[in-house]
Amino acid sequence: MAVADGLGHGPEAAAASQAAIAFLTSHPRRELDDLLRGCHHRLRGTRGAAVALARIDLAHDRLSYCGVGNIEARVVGHAPTRPISYNGIVGAILPHFRVFEFPFQPHDLLFLHSDGISARFDLDDPPGLSAQPAQLIAETIARNWARAHDDATIIVVRHTGDRP
């Protein structure tokens, strides 16, 4: 999974995000650190973007994550955590970063979202929200916690316990 949020607004911000997504979709099997470096090279000459990447290994109940910029990540469930994204701009200032590994067990939820969604969203508002399907959770958070004057992206993934 990937979230790419181009800096600023308008066509130039969209072009940066689209360049990142084009690179990622053309190299789906690369390691996350290689993908982030590749995005950095592809985005040179654009405004740049905040980019976060996550890969779930269901066979081993593991989540790999890396990010640069103001994309938020959160794992809710057995071992709640907030994976960090490093300060920087993919395409302009790529800091030293690393790929983090976390447990991701059946029934856990992963959230990736741009700064257009408040990081203060509450999974109990409305009550029982966290038990709903991932799509409904994402729609509810986007509706209730999106910032009025920014674009917003959110991905919600639930580990169902199914194995590959």
What is the chain's length? 164
Rounded CA separation 72/65 (Å): 11
Q: Are 20 and 37 in contact (CB under 8 A)?
A: no
Q: Is 48 left (phi over 0), alpha (psi -120 to 50) or beta?
A: left
pLDDT in tens, the chain (164 residues): 999 999 998 999 999 999 999 999 999 999 999 999 999 999 999 999 999 999 999 999 999 999 999 999 999 999 999 999 999 999 999 999 999 999 999 999 999 999 999 999 988 888 999 999 999 999 999 999 998 888 899 999 999 988 77
pTM score of the predicted model: 0.93
Residue closest to 3 by CA, chosen among 138, 163, 164, 152: 152
Distance CA 117, CA 129 (A): 17
